[in-house]
Structure 1
Amino acid sequence: MPLRLLLILGALSAFGPLAIDFYLPSFPTLAQVFATDVEHIQLSLAAYFAGLALGQLAYGPVADRYGRRGPLLFGVALFTLASIACALATSLEALIVARFVQALGGCVGMVVSRAVVRDLCDPVHAAKTFSQLMLVMGLAPILAPLGGGLLLASFGWASIFVSLAIFGGLALLGVACWLPETLSQSAPRPPLRGTWQRYLGLLRDREFLAYSLSSGVAMAGMFAYIAGSPFVFIQLYGVPAEHYGWLFGSNAAGFVLVAQINVRLMRYAGPGFWLRRCVWLYCASAVTLLILALLKPAALWPLLIPLFIGIASLGCIIPNASACAMAKHGHHAGSASALMGSLGFIVAAGASALVGVLHDGSAVPMALVITLCALVAVLLAWYSGQLQTYSSGSEERTV
């Protein structure tokens, strides 16, 4: 895939994590500004997850019917305007609504980028491309908390959302000027009136559902970490807000590194093979994290080691599960991508909200939710291995 196209798709894929990670260091500040607590500020994160889940369901069928570019231009423009509204919010309620609308716009990049990859790649090359996108979009969770902390300290919390608006404007320019239409003119254009029937058909596909939920539940564990880490790092263990990004970014760097290793692993076996092995590493690190959190260590570093291993393992799990889920659905890649993304973010919204509900002033709620997600991911990955694999070859070479 051409580098320019890969960079544009990476930027579009980064809308979700960038808009999440950029404002994480501001949670304690926002709680003070809006005269509330961090648990209520986490509702703005849950609202963003809900917007990502619902918005993707709308964009997928539209992208299959009318092509990839039109929905992209609309959604990125909406994200840009909603980012400005976030910066101007004068109450927590206004911020929550603006974040929801921001997610409705930003999720288009996640849906369409996966569909574009499916338009252009076979399953193995799709897994490689998804891993390469992790390198591009992985800069977001590495740099975003660092940048967010610096902006917070220098210009205040509103500057974070102004920066997101600028990023959205640049992405809009990139799509308008350099992203071609990848949906073939000869491709079937399913009518919108059959949208729910297509979604029901996908939900009846046990293989698609198992792979999609494997990715989604694993990702939900990461978002439980995203929701809980500001409290654990900044308030519980006293990490300065401007330094929070260094810790968060180190975990994101592990995620990116493993994603690039995953590209090389495709030479030896297919994405399903590696998915069903790497998920055990994720589970082991999560259980270790929970045990350590229950022991309530006086220092933060014992928790950082299993966190790093667990988040890094997602660099193998998510791209491989995504490639497997999308492999058989090229004729409606937009709808398949939308449903996969929505399922993931519905679970992510629940996981992030659960961290807040279980809040007890320790790291245990975050660790517990991550562990639950890891255990379910193992079960789903095992179940996917029991289903019939693609007819074009063995699991090791094809899936």
Structure 2
Amino acid sequence: MNNKLHGPLFLAILSTLMAFASLSTDIYLPAMPMMATELKGDVELTVTGFLIGFALAQLVWGPVSDALGRRIPLFIGMAMFIVGSAGCALSADIQQMVFWRVFQAFGACTGPMLARAMIRDSFTRIRSAQMLSTLLFIMAIAPIAGPLVGGQIIKVSSWHTVFWLLVVIGLFMFLSLFTLPETLPQEERVKASLPGAFRNYLALLRNRLFMRYTLCLTFFYVAAYAFMTGSPFVYIDFFGVAPQYYGWLFALNIVGVMGVSLINRRLVLHFPLEKLLKFAVIISALATLTLACCVKLQLGGIIAVVITVFLFFSMNGVIAANSTTAALDAVPSLAGSASALIGSLQYGSGIISTLLLAFFYDGTPWTMSWIMLLFTIASVVTLLLPMSASTSAPEISVATGRSKHSWYNSRQ
């Protein structure tokens, strides 16, 4: 195996790529109330637009990366991200902002999608879970630093400066891609036409084991995005937290993710991924149930919200790594397309959150709370539903005709 795959530079670049979704949104969360006033529109739609672009584009980039390798799509995607970020900075109204956010997302989505695929290209099942936990730990710097940096920027400048900063970050990442090795050899690339490769999505959707873990993660992220999109208004508008301090409250949750990610690295060596995943989703559901009860009964104020959200969010350190690893392990011969579908549903799930918040937000934490509760329960139900024994049968790639077990055994 290429020594570069074990180097700190490789991990640092993949971690930053994994963070592009949260970085692109979290950094301007403190500025959302200001943007809503200046752009005269529903600023939540800028998150919705980004997630729509992020979800749809991955379905294109997945088959492309299975056919062309991982590096070429990354270069194209990063260039699109830079242009889209500049367009956001220059936007004068909400319509322009939403358009450029969609464009920005078409490039940003290549980061986390192909980082996951490169890990699955390179490592075995347990090692992949460990590597993803490591990446989650490192990438957590972005959602911690993002709101903090964004809050300080709008204290001394405008929200436009936030997006110019993203342009600079995009340029830096474009240059760093030259150091990445290609992890998908020519002989393992999909030889079918792209339309044929797109048919692989039908096979993935019919694979019940793959969809079980993918939907578990998807529903969890609907709840997570409900908090990420709703928390600026809950903390800043409802509880009166100053924008420059909002980032500290948001960062607290990411510290929990980092801690649990480190613990998960060790736990996967001693417990089955599935058992750890079930434990994590049940804990997250209990946390959101407590949150909803406290908000509805007006108990505990902001302290209750902070504590219960911290417990919920920390479980992402187990759920994201283990569900992704288990899902990709179900269809290893289609790592690019499978990673694309996972990412499309995972980040596209935020569209549900933002739309529900836009339509039902009542100026209190209640809307955010019941959305989080509803979808964490859905995550638990999805994971605990019984499955037939036939689900574990080998899957065949539509485009390549390869058995999953022959590919997997070659990686052991």
User: What TM-score comes out, normalization by structure 1 length?
Assistant: 0.94
Alignment match of 2:223 (pick from 196, 209, 221)? 221
Alpha-carbon offset, residue 71 of structure 1: 0.2
Alpha-carbon offset, residue 352 of structure 1: 2.2
SS of the aligned residue for 1:65 comes to helix
Q: In 2 relative to 1, CA 384–100 (structure 1 residues): closer, same or farther, beyond 3 Å?
A: farther
Aligned counterpart, 2:205:
203
Alignment match of 2:295 (pick from 285, 293, 296)? 293
What one-letter code is carried by the residue in structure 2 that aligns with 1:290? A
Aligned counterpart, 2:48:
46
Where do residues 174-253 of structure 1 align in structure 2 (5 Å cutoff)?
174-176=176-178, 178-191=179-192, 192-253=194-255
Aligned counterpart, 1:32:
37
What one-letter code is carried by the residue in structure 2 that aligns with 1:182? T
Where do residues 152-163 of structure 1 align in structure 2 (5 Å cutoff)?
152-163=154-165
Q: In 2 relative to 1, CA 390–254 (structure 1 residues): closer, same or farther, beyond 3 Å?
A: farther
The Cα RMSD (Å) is 1.5
Aligned counterpart, 1:313:
315
Q: Distance between the aligned counterparts of 1:92 and 1:188, measured in 2?
A: 41
Query: Is the Cα–Cα contact under 8 Å of residues 357 and 368 in structure 2 kept in the other structure?
Result: yes
Q: Distance between the aligned counterparts of 1:44 and 1:312, measured in 2?
A: 26
What one-letter code is carried by the residue in structure 2 that aligns with 1:63? S
Aligned counterpart, 1:331:
333
Q: In 2 relative to 1, CA 151–184 (structure 1 residues): closer, same or farther, beyond 3 Å?
A: same
Q: Distance between the aligned counterparts of 1:144 and 1:241, measured in 2?
A: 13
Q: Distance between the aligned counterparts of 2:309 and 2:145, measured in 1?
A: 18
Q: Distance between the aligned counterparts of 1:232 and 1:267, measured in 2?
A: 39
What one-letter code is carried by the residue in structure 1 that aligns with 2:32? F
Q: Distance between the aligned counterparts of 1:257 and 1:101, measured in 2?
A: 34
Q: Distance between the aligned counterparts of 1:332 and 1:267, measured in 2?
A: 25
Higher mean displacement: 267-276 or 335-344: 267-276
Is residue 22 of structure 2 the alignment partner of residue 22 of structure 1? no
SS of the aligned residue for 1:129 comes to helix
Q: Percent identical across equivalent pairs?
A: 32
Alignment match of 1:303 (pick from 302, 305, 309)? 305
Aligned counterpart, 1:396:
none
Aligned counterpart, 2:169:
167
Query: Is the Cα–Cα contact under 8 Å of residues 210 and 384 in structure 1 kept in the other structure?
Result: no
Alpha-carbon offset, residue 297 of structure 1: 4.3
What one-letter code is carried by the residue in structure 2 that aligns with 1:353? L
Q: Distance between the aligned counterparts of 1:202 and 1:134, measured in 2?
A: 25
Q: In 2 relative to 1, CA 60–369 (structure 1 residues): closer, same or farther, beyond 3 Å?
A: same
What one-letter code is carried by the residue in structure 2 that aligns with 1:126? S
Alignment match of 1:279 (pick from 278, 281, 288)? 281
Query: Is the Cα–Cα contact under 8 Å of residues 61 and 110 in structure 2 kept in the other structure?
Result: yes
Aligned counterpart, 1:395:
none
Structure 1: gaps of 5 or more residues: 393-399
Query: Is the Cα–Cα contact under 8 Å of residues 124 and 270 in structure 1 kept in the other structure?
Result: no
Aligned counterpart, 1:381:
383
Higher mean displacement: 299-308 or 184-193: 184-193
Q: Distance between the aligned counterparts of 1:185 and 1:196, measured in 2?
A: 19
Higher mean displacement: 126-135 or 288-297: 288-297
**Offset from partner CA, 1:189-245 (integer Å, 9 cap, x none):** 242121331000000000001111111111221111001101000000000001000
SS of the aligned residue for 1:339 comes to helix
**Offset from partner CA, 1:235-291 (integer Å, 9 cap, x none):** 000000010000000011101111111001012113222101111100000100001
Structure 2: gaps of 5 or more residues: 1-5, 395-404, 406-412
Q: In 2 relative to 1, CA 237–298 (structure 1 residues): closer, same or farther, beyond 3 Å?
A: farther
Aligned counterpart, 2:124:
122
Higher mean displacement: 354-363 or 111-120: 354-363
User: What TM-score comes out, normalization by structure 2 length?
Assistant: 0.91
Q: Distance between the aligned counterparts of 2:393 and 2:266, measured in 1?
A: 22
SS of the aligned residue for 1:183 comes to coil
Query: Is the Cα–Cα contact under 8 Å of residues 151 and 157 in structure 1 kept in the other structure?
Result: yes
What one-letter code is carried by the residue in structure 2 that aligns with 1:7? A
Query: Is the Cα–Cα contact under 8 Å of residues 26 and 157 in structure 1 kept in the other structure?
Result: yes
Alignment match of 2:18 (pick from 13, 28, 36)? 13
Alpha-carbon offset, residue 329 of structure 1: 2.4
Q: In 2 relative to 1, CA 62–239 (structure 1 residues): closer, same or farther, beyond 3 Å?
A: same
Q: Distance between the aligned counterparts of 1:384 and 1:81, measured in 2?
A: 47
SS of the aligned residue for 1:181 comes to coil
What one-letter code is carried by the residue in structure 2 that aligns with 1:5? F
Aligned counterpart, 1:270:
272
Query: Is the Cα–Cα contact under 8 Å of residues 217 and 348 in structure 1 kept in the other structure?
Result: no
What one-letter code is carried by the residue in structure 1 that aligns with 2:91? A
Query: Is the Cα–Cα contact under 8 Å of residues 53 and 343 in structure 1 kept in the other structure?
Result: yes
Alpha-carbon offset, residue 312 of structure 1: 0.4
Higher mean displacement: 369-378 or 294-303: 294-303
Q: Distance between the aligned counterparts of 1:295 and 1:301, measured in 2?
A: 14
Alignment match of 2:140 (pick from 135, 138, 141)? 138
Q: Distance between the aligned counterparts of 2:360 and 2:386, measured in 1?
A: 31
How many residues matched?
388
Aligned counterpart, 1:363:
365
Q: Distance between the aligned counterparts of 1:261 and 1:386, measured in 2?
A: 32
Alpha-carbon offset, residue 384 of structure 1: 6.8
Aligned counterpart, 2:58:
56
What one-letter code is carried by the residue in structure 1 that aligns with 2:146? A
